[in-house]
Amino acid sequence: MSYEHRDLNLIYEPDKSWAHFVLYTEPNLGVTSAALNGTVSIESETPHVREWVDRLQPCEPNPLHTTLVPNRKILDLFQPCVHDDKDSPSAVGGSGCVCYQTFSDPEFGLPVVADHYRTRSGNTETWKYHTYAPLDLRTDDTFASLILEPGRFWIRTAAGLLSLLPEEDGRGYGVGYGGGGPHELARYIDQLIDSDGRTTSAAGLRPRDSRPDPQVLAWVSSKEATGHHELSLDDLKKIRRS
């Protein structure tokens, strides 16, 4: 992958289905989280979310899943859903449920935890997914389009694969306002344009204080950007020229 870190030599072997995943921990406080990958929570139901969810594979909880829930909830990862066991410790009043289900994204090997909530009557049932964003697309992937939808950012590859937008921890994206999130997204778009779509990695060596193109930043910060958009490289270049 093209993602680079200032101090670490990261190894990624997609053919062998493994990668170095760097964690940050404060043992005295019981804190463990990703040190590099951005954390993502997905709750809204959209066609892109459904496409992503449909490819997830159920799996047993592993150490990476435990970093996506509070420490007091780690044991809950091992309890079955009420749909599978009506006597589960996660069951509420017989048919309600407050469980976690664990998955893996087979395309990137990233952990996913689904937070399931169901009322006893079943009139309310929600799933909220917690995962990590990749740091880059896979080695042979080619950028085709950037997808923006309220609260979520995706990339579509030339082969049709949908991926969460590569994101580095602490450098999340945003649209429709004048803050750090739109600046990060504008810098990412600049990177795509300047490399003709070849560089898709997360922040890496991109300076935090680099100034994004003013036209790109103006569009990303505008109300227009808060809608649903699927933008090809040519579309992104037009935004810069506008």
pLDDT band per the 50, 70, 90 thresholds, residue 12: low
Question: Sorting pLDDT into bands at 50, 70 and 90, what band is 102?
Answer: very high
Higher pLDDT, 142 or 5: 142
**How does DSSP assign 46-63, residue by residue?**
-HHHHHHHHH-EE----H
How many CA within 13 A on the CB side of residue 120? 3
> Would you say 184 and 203 are in contact if contact means Cβ atoms under 8 Å apart?
yes
Beta strands in 10-90 (DSSP E): 12-13, 18-19, 23-26, 31-34, 39-42, 57-58
Q: Can you give the pLDDT at residue 128?
A: 96
Determine the Cα–Cα distance for residues 202 and 234; give it in Å rounded to an integer. 21
Q: Which of 8-22, 61-75, 220-234: highest mean pLDDT?
A: 220-234
Q: Is 32 or 65 the better-scoring residue by pLDDT?
A: 65
The whole-angstrom separation of Cα 19 and Cα 159 is: 22
pTM of the predicted structure, to 2 decimals: 0.87
For residue 186, the SS3 value is: helix
- Residue 20's pLDDT band (cuts 50, 70, 90): low
Q: How confident is the model at residue 90 (pLDDT cuts 50, 70, 90)?
A: confident
Average pLDDT (189-196) is 94
